[in-house]
């Protein structure tokens, strides 16, 4: 930790800061320059209260040297982590396209969706039985029954399932239904109690980025899950809030580069909730794969215009097939499998 003092800091103030650093269990090393003095505090800074030091007289700024996240950081584990989702790897050289409807609707819709997903060559399926909707008067998801419908349809096509958990009271039900990947949605990225609970199980978790979360906050949210014991975490960028109104959210492609440097965990992109329109999904998907994403989470529907939720952004089975061909070409160019 580095403590930068004000240019006018008096000697007594500097001594008081040194003493406070010692009281915190660190060793101060003072460097006096012509303009100002800086103190390097050596030792375990993880438990040091930065604000308490900043509040001392004569202190201008305190800078942490250590990252506030550990388990998810590349500093703790340099090699890329590959997460085993019921036999399907996420991370590593193979790119995974997870496709499926926004929400589980009926057994027929789920069977047709699963068939389309498998036929397009995708190895995992998405679908929400519990939907986080902005209005309480819109369709909220079919609930537990949806988990059953989803498992039945996906199993018939050997597809592990990804589905959103909103309420911690449903965690046991998710485990009983053998949910292969628990999705934590954008609205719950900082629901710390929920993160701690999914941290206590071993089911892989897709952690979506909060719609206004910084990358650092997102990494800290993942650290909550990891610190509770579950290291099977997949980051999912789904677009962030911006000033632009021409699309639903702004896909932050830069986040792929930053996360790939900061963490060893897989990073996937949701182009559907970013663009919010089906016609934007192919170009955003191509950009994501070219930028190094380990996979995509895409909404499809057997009859998009009839979808009960997010109809505007769902691809048809044909559109998914076409997209898979394009993405295979990009994967090949960058030396990855799809
Ligand atoms: C979803 O994937 O179904 C969803 C609701 O996404 P988000 O949390 O990114 O809005
Ligand atoms: Mn949706």
pLDDT at 47 exceeding the cut of 80: no
Residue nearest to atom 4 of ligand 1 (CA): 185
User: 17 with 53: CB under 8 angstroms?
Assistant: yes
Q: Are strands 27-32 and 37-42 parallel, antiparallel or unpaired?
A: antiparallel
In the chain, list all ranges with CATH 3.30.70.1140.
Answer: 2-63
pLDDT digits (tens, 9 = 90+) for 153-193: 999 999 999 999 999 999 999 999 999 999 999 999 999 99
- Counting Cα atoms < 13 Å in the Cβ hemisphere of 294 gives 23
Q: Is 134 exposed, middle or buried (0-12, 13-18, 19+ CB in 10 A)?
A: exposed
Fold for domain 2-63?
A: Alpha-Beta Plaits (3.30.70)
Q: 105-160, pLDDT tens digit by residue?
A: 999 999 999 999 999 999 999 999 999 999 999 999 999 999 999 999 999 999 99
Query: For all residues of the chain together, what is the average pLDDT?
Result: 96
Residue whose CB lies within 8 A of the most ligand 1 atoms, among 102, 126, 132, for a mutation test: 132
Top-confidence range, 9-13, 19-23, 73-77, 299-303 = 299-303
Q: Which pLDDT belongs to residue 153? A: 98
Does the pLDDT at position 232 exceed 90?
Answer: yes
Q: In the chain, which ranges are continuous DSSP H helix?
A: 11-23, 50-54, 107-119, 144-156, 171-176, 192-198, 215-227, 254-262, 271-275, 281-291, 317-333
Q: Work out the number of other CB atoms within 10 angstroms of the CB of residue 106.
A: 12
Q: Whose CA is nearest to atom 9 of ligand 1?
A: 186
**Cβ 208 under 6 angstroms from ligand 1:** yes
Cα of 328 vs centre of ligand 1, distance in Å, is 25
Rounded CA-CA distance 268/237 in Å is: 6
128 phi/psi in degrees, rounded to 5: -105, 125
Q: Is residue 48 predicted with pLDDT exceeding 90?
A: no
Q: What is the pLDDT of residue 227?
A: 96
Strands 124-126 and 96-100: parallel
- In short, whether 186's Cβ falls inside 6 Å of ligand 1 is yes
- Kindly state the average pLDDT of the residues 23-31: 93
- pLDDT recorded at residue 35: 86
Alpha-carbon distances of 192 from 129, 234, 237, 289, rounded to whole Å = 22, 17, 19, 30
Contact between residue 11 and residue 49 where contact means Cβ atoms under 8 Å apart: no
The label of the residue with tokens 């090699």 reads 79
CA atoms of 68 and 184, how far apart (whole Å): 22
Q: How close is the Cα of 108 to the center of ligand 2, in Å?
A: 19
Amino acid 66: pLDDT: 84
DSSP secondary structure letter of residue 200: T
Q: Is 128 in the pocket of ligand 1 (CB under 6 A)?
A: yes
pTM of the model: 0.93
Residue 8 contacts residue 35 (beta carbons within 8 Å):
no
Query: Tell me, what DSSP letter sits at residue 92?
Result: T
The response to whether residue 273 sits with its C-beta less than 6 Å from ligand 1 reads: yes
Domain with CATH 3.20.20.70 in the chain: 83-333
* Residue 309 alpha carbon to ligand 2 centre in Å: 6
67 — pLDDT class (breaks 50, 70, 90):
confident
From CA 245, how far away is CA 262, in angstroms rounded? 30
**Which ligand 1 atom lies nearest to the CA of residue 239?**
9
Pocket of ligand 1, candidates 130, 141, 191, 270: which has the most ligand atoms within 8 Å of its Cβ, to mutate?
A: 270
How high is the pLDDT of residue 272?
Answer: 98
Q: Answer yes or no: is the C-beta of 101 below 6 A from any ligand 1 atom.
A: no
Mean pLDDT within 45-68 = 90
CATH topology of domain 83-333: TIM Barrel (3.20.20)
Confidence band, pLDDT 50/70/90 cuts, at residue 68: confident
Ligand 1, atom 6: nearest CA belongs to which residue? 185
Query: Which band of pLDDT confidence, cut at 50, 70 and 90, is reported for residue 46?
Result: confident
Read off the DSSP letter of residue 160: -
């Amino acid at each position: 930790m580095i403590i930068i003092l004000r240019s006018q800091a008096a000697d007594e103030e500097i001594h008081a800061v040194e003493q406070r650093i010692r009281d915190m269990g660190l060793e101060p090393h003072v460097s006096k320059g012509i303009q100002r003095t800086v103190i390097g505090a050596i030792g375990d800074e993880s438990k040091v209260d930065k604000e308490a030091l900043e509040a001392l007289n004569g202190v201008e700024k305190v800078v942490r040297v250590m990252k506030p996240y550990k388990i998810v950081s590349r500093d703790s584990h340099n090699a890329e982590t590959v997460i085993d989702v019921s036999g399907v790897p996420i991370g590593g050289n193979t790119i995974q396209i997870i496709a499926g409807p926004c929400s589980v609707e009926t057994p027929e819709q789920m069977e047709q969706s699963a068939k389309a997903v498998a036929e397009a060559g995708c190895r995992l399926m998405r679908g929400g039985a519990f939907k986080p909707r902005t209005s309480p008067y819109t369709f909220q998801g079919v609930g537990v029954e949806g988990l059953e419908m989803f498992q039945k349809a996906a199993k018939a096509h050997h597809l592990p399932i990804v589905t959103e958990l909103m309420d911690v009271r449903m965690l046991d039900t998710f485990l009983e239904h053998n949910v292969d990947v628990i999705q934590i949605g954008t609205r719950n990225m900082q629901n710390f109690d929920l993160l701690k609970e999914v941290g206590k199980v071993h089911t892989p978790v897709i952690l979506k980025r909060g719609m206004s979360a910084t990358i650092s906050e997102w990494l800290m949210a993942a650290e909550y899950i990891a610190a509770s014991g579950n290291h099977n975490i997949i980051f999912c960028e789904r677009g962030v809030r911006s000033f632009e109104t021409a699309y639903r959210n702004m896909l932050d492609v830069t986040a792929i580069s930053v996360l790939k440097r900061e963490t060893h965990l897989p990073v996937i992109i949701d182009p559907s909730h970013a663009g919010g329109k089906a016609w934007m999904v192919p170009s955003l998907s191509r950009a994501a794969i070219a930028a190094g994403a380990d996979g995509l989470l895409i909404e499809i529907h057997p009859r998009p215009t009839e979808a009960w939720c997010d109809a505007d952004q769902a691809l048809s089975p044909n559109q998914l097939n076409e997209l898979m061909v394009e993405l295979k070409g990009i994967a090949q160019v960058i030396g990855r499998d799809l």
